[in-house]
Amino acid sequence: MIICTKKMDYPLGTQCQRVQNQVMKVNAEKERASLRCMKALASRGCVDAVSQQMASHPQYLESFLRTQHYILHMDGPLPLQYRHYIAIMAAARHHCGYLVSLHSAHFLRVGGDPLWLQGLEAVPPRLQHLDQLNKVLAHQPWLTAHSHIQALLKTGEQCWSLAELVQAVVLLAHCHSLCSFVFGSGTDTDPVPLPRAPNGTPPGYCLCDAANGNVSVPQPLTSPSEHTTRRRVSVVCRIRLNMTSELFHNRSLPETTVACLFTLLSLSFSWQSLDSSCEMVCLKERIQKSQEEKERRGEHLLHTQTLQHTDVEDEEEMTYSADPSRFITDPEFGYQEFARREEDHFQVFRVQDYSWEDHGFSLVNRLYSDIGHLLDDRFRSVTALPSSHGPDLKRATWNYIHCMLGIRYDDYDYGEVNQLLEKELKLYIKSVACYPDATKTPLCPLPWAPLKPSERIHVNLLIMEARLQAELLYALRAITQYMIA
């Protein structure tokens, strides 16, 4: 037997320690991804499709979820209803039904007026005034000007404060870029589960705490009729069984998380105050079967049951459908090729004159506390992701997206873009970054074959973050111009 200790000075000990560190690092990343999935499961009753797609890159997923949670739920000048409605407006510009439906459901959950979901005509004027900036940032961000900011900040009852506008700009850019990811990953075709109803888990209640015995489970304030309750719980049980099967089949969860996930789902079943022993038996059998299949077939991804087995009436009960077209004006306005013409009022945006690191970060962090650090962590996380294609291709992809949006780097040789990016890859990047609208643009496949799912997600993450930074640069530069005018 060879015993390796940290204090060994000979090569074998060093090699063993290196292997141990690598194993610990891999396990830590798997645990981190599992933890994020469990938190999403505990807070929403499901793991949303976007998080499932990003789970192959757990370090980035952690940064993304932290930023999104801060923007939508944490302290900020905008009311929660405004935040989700702005997200609806942003997603509607690209006809992203997945995000429009998701935020429409959250909008209602936080107490939003259902009449607002009839369209922009039903919302307060200050939200209507934001539509012009939303349209420009979504399709032709180089048109963003001092005048757009001035129009929103002018004095009056329906004006915006500077802090409110900065949060709105971050929300718009975040959702516009997320539309690109949803389009590139095909998430827009997935059904959108409603957030928990008021009779579900109460706000602020964490299933993880209950699983650890830290809190007592509160009882619901009201009890629906027996028929309605049994029907609703039957739907919930079937959905959670399918969701559990999907998690255990499609995600490489460490075995140490199985018991915790099972406990969370058990609590969720028992909290419905109905006899669900049959469903629990089915759940145990499915978990055991999943583990056996994983051992037999390794890391092979399986297609599992979905909500297709649920009848139409039940499916309508669990999803919210909203037509994106009712939340936009000027639907013909879209992306146009950026032309470099000195006589135009929009010229090339030179990063040497206004950059994220030197200008945008400090401004947004000063007007919207801590968001600069969160966004900067996202940019750093995506550029630090390992890639089999090397850092030069990642930089070429990033700079190519910025170039299509009118942003250029004086210290970069753009000849590398044509050398490193194949024509088909450039077409894919352009369609996802500039035309992420499934109703108008068919998505061309990535030219790399065979391509691992994690590599495809990596490309889509680069596109999303490059676009996010581009929109922020244009909007923050316009705000800076307004402030110094």
Q: Annotated active-site positions, please?
A: 96
What is the rounded distance in angstroms from the CA atom of residue 331 to the CA atom of residue 22?
A: 51
For residues 165 and 159, give the distance between their C-alpha atoms in angstroms, rounded to a whole number: 10
User: Which two tokens mark 362?
Assistant: 């400090």
Q: Which residues contact 397 (CB under 8 A, 6 or more apart)?
A: 421, 429, 459, 462, 463, 466
In a 3-state reduction of DSSP, which class is residue 435? coil
> If DSSP codes are grouped into helix, strand and coil, which group holds residue 21?
helix
Read out DSSP for 84-137? HHHHHHHHHTTT-HHHHHHHHHHHHHTT--GGGGG-GGGS-HHHHHTHHHHHHH
Q: Which residues lie closer than 8 Å to 370 by C-beta, 6 or more apart?
A: 70
- Residue-wise over 428-453: b if at least 16 C-beta within 10 A, else e? bbbbbbbbbbbeebeeeebebeeeee
CA distance 293 to 274: 31
For the record, the structure tokens of 114 come out as: 């259902």
Measured distance CA(91)–CA(176) in Å, rounded: 6
Cα distance between residue 248 and residue 30, in whole Å: 13
Task: Return d(Cα 316, Cα 297) in angstroms, integer.
Answer: 35
Strands 349-350 and 407-408 turn out to be parallel
How many helices (H) and strands (E) the chain has is answered by: 20, 2
CA-CA-CA-CA dihedral for 109, 115, 117, 122, to nearest 10: -140
Q: Is 235:182 a contact under the CB 8 Å cutoff?
A: no
DSSP 442-464: PPPPPS-SS--HHHHHHHHHHHH
Query: 10 Å Cβ neighbour count for 4?
Result: 15
DSSP letter assigned to residue 352:
T
User: Is 408 in a helix, a strand, or coil?
Assistant: strand
Long-range contacts, 341-350 (Cβ 8 Å, 24+): 345/145, 346/142, 346/143, 346/406, 348/406, 348/407, 348/408, 349/142, 349/406, 349/407, 349/408, 349/473, 349/474, 349/477, 350/407, 350/408, 350/410
CB atoms within 10 A of CB 10: 8
